Chain A
Amino acid sequence: MGLISTLRASASGLSAERLRMDLIADNLANANTTRTPDGQPYRRKVAIFEPITPTPRMPGGVRVAQIAQDPSPPRMVYDPSHPDADPNGYVTYPNVDIVHEMVDMITASRAYEANIQAFNAAKGMFLRTLDIGRV
């Protein structure tokens, strides 16, 4: 299987980075959501990546072990006029840092393109192998 199976490994990288982008988009969209349907402020979502143990049929790759909530503390902003202000006048904003999310987005995007390169390299090597011995 060799080269053909590495396509699956690279594809797993593509999937994982794609999921990460989805989570980042979610985080950015809800950066100021003080009240979700369950009543709590939005909590930042994080994908936990885990490498796949290489086997002959699947020579590695990555998988998303879990989509977890970032346990770091939320942002507190003093705004007594806000409908969601607590008795002390503080509003609980999501623990989403826009800058951090943007950096993550760039990293995920870079990794996505790198995996495409790996995918194409494997395809290229395979097609060249087919031409061995042909006139």
Chain B
Amino acid sequence: MRINTYRTFWDTPTLQASERAMNRATTRHKLLAHNLANANTPRFVRWDLPEGEWTPAPSVQRALQAGVLPMRTTDPRHISLPPTAQPQSTAPTPQPTPMRTDGSTIDPEYELAQLAENELRYAMLARIANGQIRTLQTAIREGRGQ
């Protein structure tokens, strides 16, 4: 008997990977929307997920779901908010935009570009997940009926 290495018979690694990636895309959208809402808030530090895999390890995923958002700080003096957030990497990363005169680090164009990329990526992932589910459905029905 073939040994099943997935959680259940109706799951595939692609489906699991796309779900993890969709979770990450949702979290990223929350951060980008927060950034844009604060586009004109003085001294606001932008939020983003650390550069990393789009299908992170389950431990990281659990941390993200627990609300402990890894945050990329742009300067060691910046304080992470909320206090429980543990930045995955505290090393200052190069800022894509210079600091504005009011101290805000938000560049609306950059945020919008990231937003668009995120949305398109999510659309693709949704399509991938849909494809997997439809394939499984067809397999279960043996291609007959609907």
Contact = CB atoms under 8 A, between A and B. Distances in A.
Direct contact of A and B (CB under 8 A): yes
Interface of A: 2-3, 5-6, 9-10, 12-13, 16-17, 20, 49-51, 53-54, 56, 59-62, 107-108, 110-111, 114-115, 117-118, 121-122, 124-125, 128-129, 131-135
Nearest to A61: B37
Given A121-B116, A121-B119, A124-B119, A129 B126 contact: yes
B81 A53 contact: yes
B60 interface: no
Contact of B133 (A60, A114, A133): A133
For chain A, what secondary structure do more than half of its interface residues adopt (helix, strand, loop), or is it mixed?
A: helix
A64 to B, nearest CB: 10
B96 to A, nearest CB: 16
Nearest to B133: A133
Grouping DSSP codes into helix (H, G, I), strand (E, B) and loop, the B interface class, with mixed when no group exceeds half, is helix
B82 interface: yes
Given A54-B82, A114-B108, A114-B112, A49 B29 contact: no
Contacts of A133: 130, 133-134
B133 A49 contact: no
